[in-house]
Structure 1
């Protein structure tokens, strides 16, 4: 069927001038001002801002230094997010699939936003329809509208039928005339969604938000009690207000949300530098939680391309001439037909009467050449029987890809009366680093499932050569049960699955979910779309179909499967580190609330000034948590984040506050020391136990983690040693007796903290994964 010549350049220009162009919808990424506002105008920043003003008025600039955290947090968060936004916007453009159009009678590629009304758009397998239109020509055209309607069965489209943006071509080829563009298109929002940089909630952020809600509820009555008690403590109004501020400020985990967001954003930025486009921020979390990885054979274990090794005649006729004719009849050849085309001779001048494009569901393609016969080319175990099938399976057992060519009376009758002509053997090359890549996942405890539409025995041979564990556990997917529970059992038993249909791929993900697995699915073809969308983490190759890239959460733009370990490792680094810093921040909040409650109930002067809180917070939490949040980490995320953090933070917080209050009480009981010296004793005790909390959180020690703890301890000693710093932070060695008692109490608390941590880990054995060594 001839294709119309399309619009002329003049007609295109007229439509652009009239605004009838597929202008890109507003970016779903936040603007720089929105990013700044999101980082600046937060509840905790507002609370700290009010306390900063109060401290500035009653205590002077020195006591209000803690307010600088607003500036630092907002600046760091904004800069990191802007960097990630710029990187992702750039990658989204690189990964954008162009549209093929015919203008002035010639084919051209344009960006989707350059399409105009009445444009003639050419479409083929795997391509996503960018705008609404009406079919102009169709050759076996089948459109998958599952992303719009949820129905997985492809819809046959004939000239005059409507096609909607957001759907994609499952089989065949053709063209359509654009009817609606821009915001008028049915699913323009879906296309914008494909490159959105999302800050949507995740399971991890949900846990942190629960912490924040509880903390907010606790802060309000505790602060009220503290305000009341300090007004009755016998201090001056100025000292009472400054003491109240000092008690409230450390309760606020102002850096926890910031560092969580930064860890996510920096993870996205690092992956962007490796040509990995993360299309949704929570995908970073999915990377860390994955425990089952479903891999396609072609393009993942093997190189994308194939080479025709040999054509083995098993019947009468000239199979190479038939293959050449089939290649010529295919307007949109897939990689298999491209490999055949590179090796067969010039096509004979046979007129094409009918074409059946390749379909993943039926596993074959074909053409009817009238007096020269009708032929089908596809999977041997679908189109062959008897001895011919046995020979094909024997060849496939060595890992080669084998296809069969058969002659049929007519395409309309399908395989009825099929007569074998030839076996076509294609050679597949394993990817260069496939053994190292698969070895990484084995070490990380990720179970591999090889899922392919090819012959199961052949796929199993390739998987074994690639080093897939248990590659001998092979099954033909046509033998699998439909029942979800039974299917889940089969998935636990077998490793390699052949002759899998697109609908089965999606069913695999559903079945694995019923067993509590977090599933990642790789794919690049049209037959992978449903499974990619259903999986917790869909990973598509940059060279894959537009539809696959559109629904995947991560796109490997460099088409390199060996990048996947870096992707998974980045996710695990992010979540493992967030758990570490959560331990620190929640411990601080708990000990601060404990101190405030006891002080509030006893109406004694608060043991710290705001400047003390600023110093301890910076050295034991603020500075080290920034390094810990961005450091290498190989832990695998598991459910139970909230309970694990609380198991550490509650006893640690109680020990820190208990040791500090005991040291402060004994110091106040000593009539020879002043209130300033008593506060110095409390500050030294608090710092020592808080530094121990940092040390326990930083384990297992590496050279830099141990060095970080030592540097923070050295910085505090430096403050005590330098007269100017000591006076600025209102510290001193205090009363010698009090200081000695405080250090002794701190030592006992540190030993108890070690015992509590040890018992906690033994009790929760297996709930927190061991950390991988990091440098």
Structure 2
């Protein structure tokens, strides 16, 4: 549980990005040169509270344990145990008590791992920060920051609160925790339009983000829960996890069983009163029916199947944090995937170098190494960066570069083209340097070249095109005519539309950098334009194949990203999504729609761009409203609410701790294909769960019909509660687990997933349950009545009935290894554990007769040879009945 300090109520909510500095100071009653006085800061701390979240008490393990006892199935078993104990049936009561205890412990362990997401959120803003107080720089705890404080920002600082930027000296802030995009944002000090979208408010510094480069000052406007970071935390708190299809299905069946048992018990007493039966006999009959109706081995067997499935998913690269998510994966039909890091490699790479010759003669192409203009463009890019390679002796791909992603990409591309930066710097000594600033939007480096001073420039294309007067083409300098300028603009716009991040490069004769603070037009006059350098975040190689595989499996993939529309649209089209303009929606449009209105349109949208955290949550809920089981991938703090709300939240291993704690599954490699493999394993798990449920409920139905039939016909109980519990828990226990090891069916990734709300119990399962239960129970009841009327001792008759039930359950497990294929089409040795389980179950069955204490507890006697032959015949009849049912109800429908 999380308790948020209530600061939103007392803090101003204004368009801080649209106010001039004088207006900011007036509203916040601060001083940008001196900061707040200590006394005023202390007063505001009392008014607004600390800049943090307060964690409530964790739920005690005892309450988690007691919650496991609320299930209708557990209540039925508990009542049966109490009745057995009351009438002196200590054996039955003991076995029932142990069953309840074991299942409760399993449930507690499964649920008991509390999420640490909120602690991770707190850690990100719990640190020291430098601020101005009383005109003096002070180092204080981030929790003491208040609105009106002036932050001093330096590279490596985490920003503790939302703040308006006052001074930006090359200030670049990594906002990936909020946006999911890894490229740092250049910060500006100028006021913006009031309607500027949140992700484009470049004059704001957001809580929880990281200063990557430069220095600056910022005025705190909101703290704690009032920050954008805090709002994400509130969404995480308020977001409720939906129940899995398995949980919903089992709960529905549990309610039906509870109602059924209640009616049966009432019926038992009515029949007993009419016949004048003793109360003890009526109670013991009721106990037997109740125990027969409850699949006691279900919780443990389900947990084992899910746990083994979890191990298989781990071997394929996915770490499952919440056990029930393994089953939900099998029901997934919508994948909402982040772009950066999941579909792409989350790094910047030079994808294209376009120089004058390519623009004037589009057919002229050449490799980077061989084309003079391309080589010059890369040389300029390498010379105009101040990035540092910390391990130059390493392979180029392993370089650790201190600088911007674009700088690293330029250095790597240059190295691949044979451009060695240290050698280049020695050949052309640097005389002066002008670092990139958001206000300038270019960097410049002055070098000595063959006795002359040459100024090399890299910057925003629109800036360089605005000041260029000449064009470098094939080693010659030409005048840049209006027509050529128009062609260059068209090329730039085309590359941008294709999703590339573009820089321009040029040079001019230098005369020192004494004008370096001047306007670019004055400073860069007579610039020779060389060309464009295009960057992109390369697509992961395995993604297109994984997308194609997921389509074949009936899965729909949708991109949800904070990146720009054109970039996201291009990636979507590369991986095989339609993603035409009418199938792309941006955050502004998304904001205007309610969940219900969005739900009516989601089928027609392939890409959501410039999306905010609460909008991701809206997309998840819209698809769920449409009846879909949703998997959501993400890696940032901004993804946490949607990861928690999704049916399956999937975080990346390289993501934030907050995202991992909110997720159900963590991909140990940042690869979309691992998610598709995990969904495949989820379908195998779902198949095996259905086989297990069919087996358990077929056995339970057999026991109910057998006991109920004897009761209605006026015969003694054919089985006691101890017989049923021994069969369900001990004899069949290993067989339950054997289903977990069943290999995948050949068509598992060619089926369409189940719709949301679909019962885990399919119609085919119920038909097989009815066939098995009906045939087995009628044969056993006939055997019981026949032997009873022939005058055999009741102990022998019950022993034969008990043994018949055990034998039948052994035989029909062979058929239930596949609900879609005939027995003879199932490879005999594909599940070795199944064969081992059969042998061990036979051994356990024999031990029940061999060990005196167990034999006495169950009231067993020796079975004659003819009786053993009858048991085998009964097993064969069961198998034939199941195969007939599978052919008639399942395989015939699949072939249609």
Q: Work out whether the TM-score is over 0.5.
A: yes
Q: CA 1:607/1:684 → structure 2, altered by over 3 Å: closer, same or farther?
A: same
The answer on whether the counterparts of 2:305 and 2:739 sit within 8 Å (CA) in structure 1 is no
- Residue 134 of structure 1 deviates from its aligned partner by 5.1
Q: CA 1:524/1:231 → structure 2, altered by over 3 Å: closer, same or farther?
A: same
CA distance in 1, matches of 2:288, 2:461: 82
Question: Aligned match of 1:81 in 92, 111, 117?
Answer: 111
1:355-383: CA deviation from partner (whole Å, max 9, x where unpaired): 789xxxxxxx95998999699xxxxxxxx
Partner of 2:735: 624
> Does 2:105 correspond to 1:53?
no
Partner of 1:649: 769
> Does 2:504 correspond to 1:405?
yes
Aligned-partner SS, 1:135: strand
CA distance in 1, matches of 2:768, 2:151: 60
- Residue 222 of structure 1 deviates from its aligned partner by 0.7
CA distance in 1, matches of 2:551, 2:284: 56
Q: CA 1:685/1:185 → structure 2, altered by over 3 Å: closer, same or farther?
A: same
Partner of 1:339: 409
CA distance in 1, matches of 2:43, 2:495: 62
User: Which stretch of structure 1 is more off in the superposition, 251-260 or 744-753?
Assistant: 251-260
Q: CA 1:369/1:192 → structure 2, altered by over 3 Å: closer, same or farther?
A: same
Aligned-partner SS, 2:761: helix
User: Which stretch of structure 1 is more off in the superposition, 52-61 or 186-195?
Assistant: 186-195
Question: Aligned match of 1:424 in 510, 533, 554?
Answer: 533
The answer on whether the counterparts of 2:848 and 2:854 sit within 8 Å (CA) in structure 1 is yes
CA distance in 2, matches of 1:111, 1:41: 45
CA distance in 1, matches of 2:625, 2:487: 39
CA distance in 2, matches of 1:667, 1:226: 24
Partner of 2:693: 582
> Does 2:819 correspond to 1:720?
no
User: Which stretch of structure 1 is more off in the superposition, 317-326 or 626-635?
Assistant: 317-326
Partner of 2:189: none
CA distance in 2, matches of 1:658, 1:395: 74
Question: Aligned match of 1:66 in 96, 116, 119?
Answer: 96
The answer on whether the counterparts of 1:319 and 1:421 sit within 8 Å (CA) in structure 2 is no
Question: Aligned match of 1:154 in 176, 179, 198?
Answer: 198
Aligned-partner SS, 1:290: coil
Partner of 2:433: 348
> Does 2:727 correspond to 1:601?
no
CA distance in 2, matches of 1:536, 1:583: 25
Structure 1 residue runs without a partner (length 5+): 358-364, 376-383, 412-417, 464-470, 492-496, 768-775
Partner of 1:709: 838
Q: CA 1:158/1:395 → structure 2, altered by over 3 Å: closer, same or farther?
A: closer
Partner of 2:885: 756
- Residue 760 of structure 1 deviates from its aligned partner by 2.3
CA distance in 1, matches of 2:153, 2:831: 55
**TM-score normalised by the chain length of structure 2:** 0.61
User: Which stretch of structure 1 is more off in the superposition, 613-622 or 531-540?
Assistant: 531-540
Partner of 2:652: 541
1:378-432: CA deviation from partner (whole Å, max 9, x where unpaired): xxxxxx97477569989999xx96735389xx99xxxxxx997522144877758
CA distance in 2, matches of 1:92, 1:719: 52
Partner of 2:73: 44
Partner of 1:494: none
Q: CA 1:206/1:5 → structure 2, altered by over 3 Å: closer, same or farther?
A: farther
Question: Aligned match of 2:129 in 102, 105, 109?
Answer: 102
User: Which stretch of structure 1 is more off in the superposition, 211-220 or 550-559?
Assistant: 550-559
Aligned-partner SS, 2:816: helix
User: Which stretch of structure 1 is more off in the superposition, 640-649 or 292-301?
Assistant: 292-301
1:161-183: CA deviation from partner (whole Å, max 9, x where unpaired): 998x89999xx99855275437x
The answer on whether the counterparts of 1:230 and 1:243 sit within 8 Å (CA) in structure 2 is no
Partner of 2:247: 205
1:572-625: CA deviation from partner (whole Å, max 9, x where unpaired): 354333323322333234333323432332232111122211211124544433
Q: CA 1:202/1:312 → structure 2, altered by over 3 Å: closer, same or farther?
A: same
> Does 2:795 correspond to 1:676?
yes
User: Which stretch of structure 1 is more off in the superposition, 448-457 or 533-542?
Assistant: 448-457
1:477-535: CA deviation from partner (whole Å, max 9, x where unpaired): 447588999995796xxxxx8xx744699899999989987564545579989998997
CA distance in 2, matches of 1:223, 1:448: 51
- Residue 539 of structure 1 deviates from its aligned partner by 3.7
Give the number of aligned pairs: 712
CA distance in 2, matches of 1:631, 1:662: 34
1:685-704: CA deviation from partner (whole Å, max 9, x where unpaired): 22222223433333455111
- Residue 269 of structure 1 deviates from its aligned partner by 8.7
Aligned-partner SS, 2:347: coil
Aligned-partner SS, 1:348: strand
- Residue 104 of structure 1 deviates from its aligned partner by 5.8
Question: Aligned match of 1:690 in 806, 809, 812?
Answer: 809
- Residue 143 of structure 1 deviates from its aligned partner by 12
CA distance in 2, matches of 1:487, 1:17: 46
Structure 2 residue runs without a partner (length 5+): 1-20, 22-30, 181-194, 358-372, 388-401, 415-420, 443-458, 470-484, 507-518, 521-526, 586-597, 819-825
> Does 2:372 correspond to 1:287?
no
Partner of 1:564: 675
Q: CA 1:111/1:300 → structure 2, altered by over 3 Å: closer, same or farther?
A: farther
Higher Rg of the two aligned structures = 2
